[in-house]
Amino acid sequence: MSTVGKVIKCKAAIAWEAGSLFSIEEVEVAPPKEHEIRVKIVATGVCRSDAHAISPSFKEGLFPVILGHEGAGIVESTGPGVTKFKPGDKVIPLYMPQCGQCKFCLSPKTNLCEKISKIKTAISDQDLMPDGTSRFTCKGKQIYHFMGTSTFSEYTVVAETSLVKIDDAAPLEKVCLIGCGFSTGYGAAINTAKVEPGSTCAVFGLGGVGLSAVMGCKVSGASRIFAIDINKDKFSLAKELGATDCLNPQDFKKPIQEVITEMNDGGVDFAIECIGNIAVMNAALECTTVGWGTCVIVGVAVGGQTIAVSPMQLIMGKKINATFFGGWKSIDSVPKLVSDYMAKKFNLDALVTYTLPFEKINKAFDLMCEGKSTRTVLVF
Ligand code: PAD
Ligand code: ZN
Ligand code: ZN
């Protein structure tokens, strides 16, 4: 029986309040309105940013909410006015939209789009559809969307500017990582740092984002890639993906930035922070070489923390940059990244430590927080 135009009842993971576990509930998902698409999510990764969003120190969260922003699925139905999608299309929801018309979309200088909700506060996009209402209800309560994607639901509704069609042959339980972690780290190296052939790099934090940054440094032809983590279990995969030197800051008496500076003749060309720790952001800047060292910040620091930078470092030619979704203009780039994966240009499979049924979502968060997974992919 067709579900088009009807409310769908399905399972979703709801975060009822900050700091709580997810509870699997039956939710009602309303049909898509104008310029919206209802998507059956097939697989979704779990990213550290989802954990940030429900952390009690992240003050801007709205509850109850359906999180999830690293998913892939199949179009179930389309709302009025949608021309680019049809039922059955394989798609990736995009937390960085690309409307193609705003001043940011029209500029080659940025991948931001003004359609991203609350652009000024970056990840606090736990909110509603563009018309200010929610498509989700549970137990009579309205549930907030998250980043325009809400992939922790068997069905979700997204705006047409926050969705892209991908290759019909793509394995959704792998390419979902292109929806966030992979693209962010890989793009941080390629698009934001613009790592050069023969250069030296340091990547701080070897989760899904950091290991993807290692891959981005390698594909850009870096000659030396330092991979830094306080969890030594991350090192074997980092080496497999291109790291030349793996360092645990806890193994040294000196600060890690001094160790790297000494090991690499005055510092590296590029340093990429993929943790969200402001002290490490400073270390990343400090371990770059004077003259032209570039530090790229990827990690999201929660709780309104700020970084203090000595102007002298900047006067000495060091630069700080940062990235949102790896600098990729989403609708233009995501299908190409999927094709590149299909052509075996990078190793996404290595990032998937576990594939679990959706109901194990709390286990997936535990594995991430205990440092036992690069990525866990949940399948419906
Ligand atoms: P993750 O938790 O899987 O990986 C973080 C890694 O950092 C782990 O391996 C930790 O062991 C390691 N680590 C923690 N503390 C330290 C330390 N002091 N020194 C060295 N290593 C340490 O996270 P992830 O890879 O999913 O995400 C990383 C960050 O990137 C996180 O802050 C997330 O919110 C952010 C992010 N940003 C964007 C963006 O567009 N800017 C997108 C996606 C994720
Ligand atoms: Zn993410
Ligand atoms: Zn735009």
Same domain, 87 and 133: yes
Å from CA of 327 to ligand 3 middle: 14
Same domain, 166 and 292: no
pLDDT at 124: 42
Residue 328 forms part of a structural domain? no
Q: Alpha-carbon distance 213 to 206, whole Å?
A: 9
pLDDT at 57: 81
Same domain, 224 and 158: no
CB of 71 sitting under 6 A from ligand 1: no
How many domains are there within the chain? 2
Same domain, 236 and 372: no
User: Containing domain of residue 152, as a range?
Assistant: 8-179+348-379
For the chain, what percentages of helix, strand and coil (3-state, to nearest 5) are there? 30, 25, 45
Same domain, 232 and 134: no
Q: What is the CATH number of the domain that holds 213?
A: 3.40.50.720
Decide if 35 is catalytic.
no
Residue 334 forms part of a structural domain? no
Same domain, 191 and 306: yes
Strand 136-138 and strand 8-14: pairing?
A: unpaired
Same domain, 79 and 142: yes
pLDDT at 302: 82
Beta partners for residue 339, in sequence order: none
Å from CA of 134 to ligand 1 middle: 30
CB within 8 Å of 323: residues ≥ 6 apart: 184, 187, 188, 191, 192, 296, 297, 298
Given the residues 2, 23, 35, 49, select the one marked as catalytic: 49
Q: Which residue has the tokens 């900050």?
A: 18
pLDDT at 120: 42
Residue 81 forms part of a structural domain? yes
Residue 332 forms part of a structural domain? no
Same domain, 266 and 225: yes
**Predicted confidence pLDDT, tens digits, the chain (380 residues):** 799 999 999 999 999 999 889 999 999 999 999 999 999 999 999 999 999 888 888 777 789 999 999 999 999 999 999 999 999 999 999 999 999 999 999 999 999 998 886 544 444 444 888 888 999 999 999 999 999 999 999 999 999 999 999 999 999 999 999 999 999 999 999 999 999 999 999 999 999 999 999 999 999 999 999 999 999 999 999 999 999 999 999 999 999 999 999 999 899 999 999 999 999 999 999 999 999 999 999 999 888 889 999 999 999 999 999 999 999 999 999 999 999 999 999 999 999 999 999 999 999 999 999 999 999 999 99
Residue 309 forms part of a structural domain? yes
Å from CA of 339 to ligand 1 middle: 26
pLDDT at 121: 44
Q: What is the CATH number of the domain that holds 152?
A: 3.90.180.10
DSSP string covering 196-240: -TT-EEEEE--SHHHHHHHHHHHHTT-SEEEEE-S-GGGHHHHHH
Decide if 274 is catalytic.
no
Same domain, 93 and 151: yes
Same domain, 277 and 192: yes
Same domain, 49 and 192: no
Residue 22 forms part of a structural domain? yes
Residue 88 forms part of a structural domain? yes
CB of 218 sitting under 6 A from ligand 1: no
Same domain, 209 and 300: yes
pLDDT at 118: 52
Residue 338 forms part of a structural domain? no
